Amino acid sequence: MTLGLWLERIGRTLRERLYGLFYGLGYFFNVLKESILFFKRRQVGFRVLVMQILFTGYEALRISAVLALAIGVAINLIGSSLLAGFGQGKLMYTLLIIVITRELGPLLTAFIVIARSGTAIATELGGMVVAHEIEAYVAVGVNPITYLAAPRVLGVVISMMVLTVYFNVFGLFGSFAVMQLLKPVAFQEYMKNLVEVLTVGDLLLGLVKSLVFGVIISVVSTYRGFAVERSTTEVPVAGIRAVGTSFILCIVADAALTAVLYLG
Protein backbone atom coordinates (compact mmCIF):
# COMPACT_ATOMS: atom_id res chain seq x y z
CA MET A 1 0.00 0.00 0.00
CA THR A 2 1.39 3.38 -0.95
CA LEU A 3 2.03 6.23 1.46
CA GLY A 4 -0.72 8.22 -0.20
CA LEU A 5 -3.29 5.51 0.49
CA TRP A 6 -2.15 5.23 4.12
CA LEU A 7 -2.46 8.96 4.59
CA GLU A 8 -5.87 8.94 2.97
CA ARG A 9 -7.02 6.16 5.28
CA ILE A 10 -5.67 7.93 8.37
CA GLY A 11 -7.33 11.15 7.28
CA ARG A 12 -10.66 9.43 6.69
CA THR A 13 -10.53 7.67 10.07
CA LEU A 14 -9.67 10.93 11.80
CA ARG A 15 -12.50 12.73 10.06
CA GLU A 16 -14.97 10.00 11.00
CA ARG A 17 -13.81 10.04 14.63
CA LEU A 18 -14.11 13.80 14.82
CA TYR A 19 -17.54 13.66 13.21
CA GLY A 20 -18.56 10.98 15.73
CA LEU A 21 -17.26 13.08 18.61
CA PHE A 22 -19.12 16.21 17.55
CA TYR A 23 -22.23 14.20 16.77
CA GLY A 24 -22.07 12.65 20.24
CA LEU A 25 -21.57 16.04 21.88
CA GLY A 26 -24.46 17.46 19.87
CA TYR A 27 -26.63 14.55 21.00
CA PHE A 28 -25.56 15.04 24.62
CA PHE A 29 -26.49 18.73 24.68
CA ASN A 30 -29.73 18.11 22.81
CA VAL A 31 -30.80 15.42 25.28
CA LEU A 32 -29.76 17.60 28.22
CA LYS A 33 -31.79 20.52 26.87
CA GLU A 34 -34.87 18.37 26.26
CA SER A 35 -34.54 16.82 29.74
CA ILE A 36 -34.40 20.24 31.38
CA LEU A 37 -37.41 21.42 29.34
CA PHE A 38 -39.23 18.10 29.80
CA PHE A 39 -42.05 19.40 31.99
CA LYS A 40 -42.60 22.41 29.72
CA ARG A 41 -43.15 20.32 26.61
CA ARG A 42 -46.66 19.36 25.53
CA GLN A 43 -45.72 16.05 23.92
CA VAL A 44 -43.98 14.54 26.91
CA GLY A 45 -43.83 10.94 27.94
CA PHE A 46 -44.87 11.04 31.59
CA ARG A 47 -45.76 7.38 31.40
CA VAL A 48 -42.28 6.60 30.08
CA LEU A 49 -40.79 8.59 32.98
CA VAL A 50 -42.86 6.75 35.59
CA MET A 51 -42.06 3.36 34.05
CA GLN A 52 -38.37 4.22 33.96
CA ILE A 53 -38.34 5.18 37.65
CA LEU A 54 -40.20 1.98 38.49
CA PHE A 55 -37.77 -0.17 36.54
CA THR A 56 -34.51 1.59 37.35
CA GLY A 57 -35.30 2.67 40.90
CA TYR A 58 -37.99 0.58 42.51
CA GLU A 59 -37.11 -2.77 40.98
CA ALA A 60 -33.43 -2.31 41.86
CA LEU A 61 -34.10 -1.72 45.56
CA ARG A 62 -33.64 -5.35 46.55
CA ILE A 63 -30.31 -5.96 44.81
CA SER A 64 -29.11 -2.56 45.99
CA ALA A 65 -30.00 -3.41 49.60
CA VAL A 66 -28.24 -6.78 49.48
CA LEU A 67 -25.10 -5.28 47.98
CA ALA A 68 -25.07 -2.36 50.43
CA LEU A 69 -25.50 -4.63 53.43
CA ALA A 70 -22.67 -6.88 52.25
CA ILE A 71 -20.37 -3.92 51.64
CA GLY A 72 -21.20 -2.47 55.07
CA VAL A 73 -20.40 -5.78 56.70
CA ALA A 74 -17.12 -6.16 54.78
CA ILE A 75 -15.92 -2.65 55.57
CA ASN A 76 -16.70 -3.10 59.23
CA LEU A 77 -14.94 -6.48 59.44
CA ILE A 78 -11.82 -5.26 57.63
CA GLY A 79 -11.76 -1.83 59.26
CA SER A 80 -12.31 -3.02 62.82
CA SER A 81 -9.40 -5.47 62.73
CA LEU A 82 -7.09 -3.10 60.81
CA LEU A 83 -7.79 0.11 62.73
CA ALA A 84 -7.83 -1.58 66.11
CA GLY A 85 -4.23 -2.66 65.48
CA PHE A 86 -3.27 1.02 65.31
CA GLY A 87 -5.44 1.96 68.25
CA GLN A 88 -7.66 3.99 65.91
CA GLY A 89 -10.95 2.15 66.38
CA LYS A 90 -12.85 5.45 66.40
CA LEU A 91 -11.77 6.08 62.79
CA MET A 92 -14.14 3.30 61.79
CA TYR A 93 -16.96 5.87 61.45
CA THR A 94 -14.86 8.15 59.24
CA LEU A 95 -13.94 5.15 57.11
CA LEU A 96 -17.60 4.15 56.76
CA ILE A 97 -18.64 7.64 55.71
CA ILE A 98 -15.78 8.05 53.23
CA VAL A 99 -16.05 4.62 51.66
CA ILE A 100 -19.81 4.20 51.59
CA THR A 101 -21.21 7.72 51.28
CA ARG A 102 -18.56 9.31 49.11
CA GLU A 103 -17.16 6.46 47.05
CA LEU A 104 -18.81 3.06 46.93
CA GLY A 105 -22.42 4.21 47.36
CA PRO A 106 -22.64 6.20 44.15
CA LEU A 107 -20.22 3.99 42.20
CA LEU A 108 -21.75 0.61 43.06
CA THR A 109 -25.23 2.01 42.54
CA ALA A 110 -24.06 3.19 39.12
CA PHE A 111 -22.79 -0.31 38.36
CA ILE A 112 -26.16 -1.80 39.32
CA VAL A 113 -27.99 0.72 37.15
CA ILE A 114 -25.62 0.16 34.21
CA ALA A 115 -26.07 -3.59 34.39
CA ARG A 116 -29.86 -3.43 34.66
CA SER A 117 -31.08 -0.26 33.00
CA GLY A 118 -28.21 0.70 30.71
CA THR A 119 -28.46 -2.54 28.80
CA ALA A 120 -32.26 -2.48 28.86
CA ILE A 121 -32.47 1.07 27.48
CA ALA A 122 -29.91 0.47 24.73
CA THR A 123 -31.45 -2.80 23.58
CA GLU A 124 -35.03 -1.52 23.80
CA LEU A 125 -34.28 1.57 21.73
CA GLY A 126 -32.13 -0.46 19.35
CA GLY A 127 -35.02 -2.87 18.85
CA MET A 128 -37.34 0.06 18.18
CA VAL A 129 -34.95 1.41 15.55
CA VAL A 130 -34.79 -1.94 13.76
CA ALA A 131 -38.60 -2.26 13.85
CA HIS A 132 -38.86 1.29 12.41
CA GLU A 133 -40.79 2.41 15.48
CA ILE A 134 -38.57 5.46 15.88
CA GLU A 135 -39.23 6.41 12.26
CA ALA A 136 -42.94 5.99 12.93
CA TYR A 137 -42.68 8.47 15.81
CA VAL A 138 -40.91 10.94 13.53
CA ALA A 139 -43.53 10.39 10.82
CA VAL A 140 -46.38 11.46 13.12
CA GLY A 141 -44.40 14.43 14.46
CA VAL A 142 -43.10 13.07 17.76
CA ASN A 143 -39.56 14.11 18.60
CA PRO A 144 -37.83 10.88 19.75
CA ILE A 145 -35.43 12.84 21.94
CA THR A 146 -38.29 14.53 23.79
CA TYR A 147 -40.53 11.50 23.93
CA LEU A 148 -38.10 8.61 24.35
CA ALA A 149 -34.71 9.90 25.53
CA ALA A 150 -35.59 12.74 27.92
CA PRO A 151 -37.93 10.73 30.19
CA ARG A 152 -35.38 7.93 30.34
CA VAL A 153 -32.61 10.35 31.29
CA LEU A 154 -34.76 11.92 34.00
CA GLY A 155 -35.94 8.53 35.22
CA VAL A 156 -32.42 7.17 35.50
CA VAL A 157 -31.06 10.33 37.19
CA ILE A 158 -33.88 10.44 39.75
CA SER A 159 -33.53 6.70 40.40
CA MET A 160 -29.74 6.95 40.72
CA MET A 161 -30.01 9.67 43.37
CA VAL A 162 -32.67 7.85 45.36
CA LEU A 163 -30.86 4.51 45.07
CA THR A 164 -27.60 6.09 46.26
CA VAL A 165 -29.25 7.41 49.42
CA TYR A 166 -30.87 4.01 49.89
CA PHE A 167 -27.52 2.28 49.37
CA ASN A 168 -25.89 4.54 51.98
CA VAL A 169 -28.58 3.79 54.53
CA PHE A 170 -28.34 0.03 54.01
CA GLY A 171 -24.52 0.11 53.91
CA LEU A 172 -24.37 1.88 57.25
CA PHE A 173 -27.06 -0.42 58.64
CA GLY A 174 -25.06 -3.50 57.56
CA SER A 175 -22.07 -2.14 59.37
CA PHE A 176 -24.18 -1.59 62.49
CA ALA A 177 -25.52 -5.13 62.26
CA VAL A 178 -22.07 -6.70 62.18
CA MET A 179 -20.97 -4.48 65.05
CA GLN A 180 -23.66 -6.11 67.17
CA LEU A 181 -21.86 -9.41 66.68
CA LEU A 182 -18.30 -8.20 67.26
CA LYS A 183 -18.55 -5.27 69.62
CA PRO A 184 -22.15 -4.35 70.45
CA VAL A 185 -22.95 -0.64 70.34
CA ALA A 186 -26.24 1.07 71.07
CA PHE A 187 -28.01 2.32 67.94
CA GLN A 188 -28.13 5.90 69.27
CA GLU A 189 -24.39 5.86 69.96
CA TYR A 190 -23.65 4.42 66.54
CA MET A 191 -25.72 7.14 64.88
CA LYS A 192 -24.19 9.83 67.07
CA ASN A 193 -20.69 8.78 66.09
CA LEU A 194 -21.63 8.71 62.42
CA VAL A 195 -23.27 12.14 62.50
CA GLU A 196 -20.19 13.56 64.22
CA VAL A 197 -17.96 12.71 61.27
CA LEU A 198 -20.54 13.21 58.56
CA THR A 199 -20.36 16.57 56.78
CA VAL A 200 -22.69 18.25 54.33
CA GLY A 201 -19.85 17.94 51.79
CA ASP A 202 -19.95 14.13 52.12
CA LEU A 203 -23.66 14.05 51.39
CA LEU A 204 -23.40 16.56 48.56
CA LEU A 205 -20.49 14.78 46.91
CA GLY A 206 -22.41 11.51 46.97
CA LEU A 207 -25.45 13.16 45.42
CA VAL A 208 -23.42 15.07 42.81
CA LYS A 209 -21.70 11.84 41.83
CA SER A 210 -25.00 10.00 41.54
CA LEU A 211 -26.38 12.82 39.37
CA VAL A 212 -23.35 12.79 37.07
CA PHE A 213 -23.37 8.99 36.84
CA GLY A 214 -27.10 9.01 36.11
CA VAL A 215 -26.62 11.47 33.26
CA ILE A 216 -23.69 9.47 31.86
CA ILE A 217 -25.52 6.12 31.99
CA SER A 218 -28.75 7.37 30.48
CA VAL A 219 -27.22 9.52 27.74
CA VAL A 220 -24.75 6.81 26.72
CA SER A 221 -27.43 4.11 26.72
CA THR A 222 -29.95 6.10 24.70
CA TYR A 223 -27.20 7.15 22.28
CA ARG A 224 -26.07 3.55 21.78
CA GLY A 225 -29.68 2.45 21.29
CA PHE A 226 -30.42 5.10 18.69
CA ALA A 227 -27.12 4.33 16.94
CA VAL A 228 -28.40 0.90 15.85
CA GLU A 229 -28.98 1.10 12.11
CA ARG A 230 -30.72 -1.83 10.53
CA SER A 231 -29.94 -5.29 11.88
CA THR A 232 -31.19 -7.14 14.94
CA THR A 233 -27.63 -8.40 15.48
CA GLU A 234 -26.63 -4.81 16.25
CA VAL A 235 -29.03 -4.68 19.20
CA PRO A 236 -27.04 -6.79 21.71
CA VAL A 237 -23.87 -5.07 20.52
CA ALA A 238 -25.49 -1.74 21.41
CA GLY A 239 -26.19 -3.10 24.90
CA ILE A 240 -22.61 -4.28 25.34
CA ARG A 241 -21.23 -0.94 24.13
CA ALA A 242 -23.57 0.96 26.43
CA VAL A 243 -22.24 -1.02 29.40
CA GLY A 244 -18.58 -0.64 28.42
CA THR A 245 -18.74 3.08 27.72
CA SER A 246 -20.84 3.79 30.82
CA PHE A 247 -18.44 1.88 33.08
CA ILE A 248 -15.41 3.72 31.76
CA LEU A 249 -17.00 7.17 31.84
CA CYS A 250 -18.41 6.66 35.36
CA ILE A 251 -15.04 5.56 36.72
CA VAL A 252 -13.26 8.46 35.03
CA ALA A 253 -15.90 10.90 36.30
CA ASP A 254 -15.61 9.42 39.81
CA ALA A 255 -11.85 9.92 39.80
CA ALA A 256 -12.21 13.46 38.47
CA LEU A 257 -14.81 14.46 41.06
CA THR A 258 -12.78 12.93 43.88
CA ALA A 259 -9.66 14.72 42.63
CA VAL A 260 -11.53 18.02 42.53
CA LEU A 261 -12.64 17.51 46.14
CA TYR A 262 -9.29 16.45 47.55
CA LEU A 263 -6.97 18.57 45.42
CA GLY A 264 -9.22 21.55 44.89
Residue ranges in contact with another protein by CB under 8 A: 42-43, 128, 131-133, 135-142, 229-230
Taking the least distance from each CB to another protein, the nearer of 42 and 62 is: 42
User: Distance between CA 106 and CA 163 in Å, rounded?
Assistant: 8
- Which residues, including other chains, have CB under 8 Å from residue 208's CB and lie 6 or more apart? 257
The least CB distance from residue 47 to another protein, in Å, is: 10
Given the complex with another protein, which of 169 and 237 has the nearer CB atom? 237
Minimum distance between the CB of residue 56 and another protein, rounded to whole angstroms? 16
> Taking CA 247 as the corner, what is the angle to CA 12 and CA 262, rounded to the nearest 5 degrees?
110
Closest separation in Å from C-beta 40 to another protein = 13
Angle, helix 200-226 to helix 119-130, in steps of 10 degrees: 20
Cβ nearer to another protein, comparing 104 with 129: 129
For another protein, the closer of residues 49 and 163 by Cβ is 49
Nearer of residues 18 and 136 to another protein, judged by Cβ: 136
Minimum CB distance to another protein, residue 30 (Å)? 13
> Residue 222: what residue type?
T
Secondary structure of residue 131 in the 3-state scheme: coil
Residue 99 or 228 with smaller CB distance to another protein: 228
Sign of the torsion formed by the C-alpha atoms of 240, 242, 243 and 245? positive
When the beta carbons of 115 and 142 are compared against another protein, the nearer one is 142
155 burial (CB, 10 Å; 0-12 / 13-18 / 19+) is buried
Q: In angstroms, give the least distance from the CB of 114 to another protein.
A: 22
Cβ neighbour number for residue 59 with a 10 Å cutoff: 14
CB of 44 to another protein, least distance (A): 11
Q: Which of 112, 119, 135 is CA-nearest to residue 230?
A: 135
Residue among 121, 154, 134 nearest 41 (CA): 154
- Burial letters 73-100, b for 16+ CB under 10 A, else e: bbbbeebbeebeeeeeeebbbbbbbebb
Query: Closest approach of Cβ 45 to another protein, in Å?
Result: 11
